Amino acid sequence: MSEPEVDLDAEKYEKHREAGRILAQVRDEAAERLEVGMGYLEISEWAEDRIRELGGTPAFPVNVSVDEEAAHGAAGPGDERTVGEEMVKLDIGVHIDGWLADTAVTVDFSGNPELVEAAEEALDAALETVEPGVETGTIGAAIEEVIDGYGYNPVVNLTGHGLGHWEQHVSPNIPNRAVKQGTTLEVGDVVAIEPFATDGSGKVSEGQQEEIYSLEREASVRDRNARKALEQITEEFQTLPFATRWLDVSRPNMALRRLKSQNIVHGYPVLKEDDGKLVSQKEHTIIVTEDGCEVTTASQ
């Protein structure tokens, strides 16, 4: 029995594309705008506001991860941290009615351009492998080969991922190294491919800082402030990640502690390279097509 044909002109794909167009513009403008001395909160709020100006909605808080931080770095309420002579990863997402795009770029002020190039070229190599029927392990092998060629290591316990409706991480995972058993991509799959390169051993672990959360389950809450926060989360963010600073309650950290203690929300701790070494990242969202892929977050 033949597989049903996928209509890549359907409304959901058009919303994926529109999210990608907005996101590509914001990513490029934010990367150009970023400079040493700029606040984490300033660049994050600027990018999130720009997304809204262009007709989208942030799919998750802007990630500002520096040096050994690979992911989930984010500005907190009243954050006074500023960018130094560091390797900065900006990871940004947009959705249109829950249909997502996800992208990342490394802006380097640390003087390590080859580490940045390794992730960029690894992504290019990965995109060249994509077509219907390709195994995700093949994509990972292309990423690993390029990064190895630069003398660096891929971060092996971080992966690319599928993008669902109101879901930022769904199957399939896209590894950053060769694996024997993977998933076969099909026409219509929407996935984010995101190589991470490091001059460390290539593994990350959870740090202490946590500013990003998402809804785990709905439940009754006795505390008034926490209940108000939960109402906003379920109505405004649904299952997508949100920032502490996005909550319109008087004591957001306290509200989140209560919700977390009841397993109503879960947090995303900052992920750090185990050896404390630099990490670079580059990410695009793609739609798998009959003859390859369409990069929805390509620069215009």
Q: Which residues are annotated as a binding site for substrate?
A: 72, 169
Residues paired with residue 92 on neighbouring β-strands, in sequence order: 103
Q: Could you count the other beta carbons within 10 Å of the beta carbon of residue 109?
A: 15
Question: Which residues participate in the annotated binding site?
Answer: 72, 91, 102, 161, 169, 194, 283
Out of 18, 67, 79, 91, the active site residue is 91
Strand order in the sheet with 204-215: 69-71, 265-273, 204-215, 242-243
Q: Does 32 participate in catalysis according to the annotation?
A: no
* Six-digit token string for 64: 């500002």
Question: Which residues participate in the annotated binding site for a divalent metal cation?
Answer: 91, 102, 161, 194, 283
CA dist., res. 252 & res. 255, Å (int): 5
Out of 67, 144, 283, 294, the active site residue is 283
Q: Does 148 participate in catalysis according to the annotation?
A: no
Q: By the 8 A CB rule, do 99 and 15 touch?
A: yes
Q: By the 8 A CB rule, do 249 and 225 touch?
A: yes
Q: Does 283 participate in catalysis according to the annotation?
A: yes
Out of 28, 135, 169, 275, the active site residue is 169
Q: Does 266 participate in catalysis according to the annotation?
A: no
Q: Is the dihedral of CA 60, 66, 71, 74 positive or negative?
A: negative
Q: Does 120 participate in catalysis according to the annotation?
A: no
Give phi and psi for 110, each to the nearest 5: -95, -10
3-class state of residue 228 by DSSP: helix
CA dist., res. 56 & res. 164, Å (int): 17
Q: Does 80 participate in catalysis according to the annotation?
A: no
Whether omega before 172 lies within 30 degrees of 0, making that bond cis, reads: yes
CA dist., res. 159 & res. 140, Å (int): 9
Out of 16, 95, 161, 284, the active site residue is 161
- Ramachandran class of 228: left when φ > 0, alpha when ψ lies in -120 to 50, beta otherwise: alpha
Out of 144, 194, 199, 211, the active site residue is 194
* Six-digit token string for 141: 């092998």
Residues 6+ apart with CB under 8 A from 25: 54, 300
Residues known to be catalytic: 91, 102, 161, 169, 194, 283
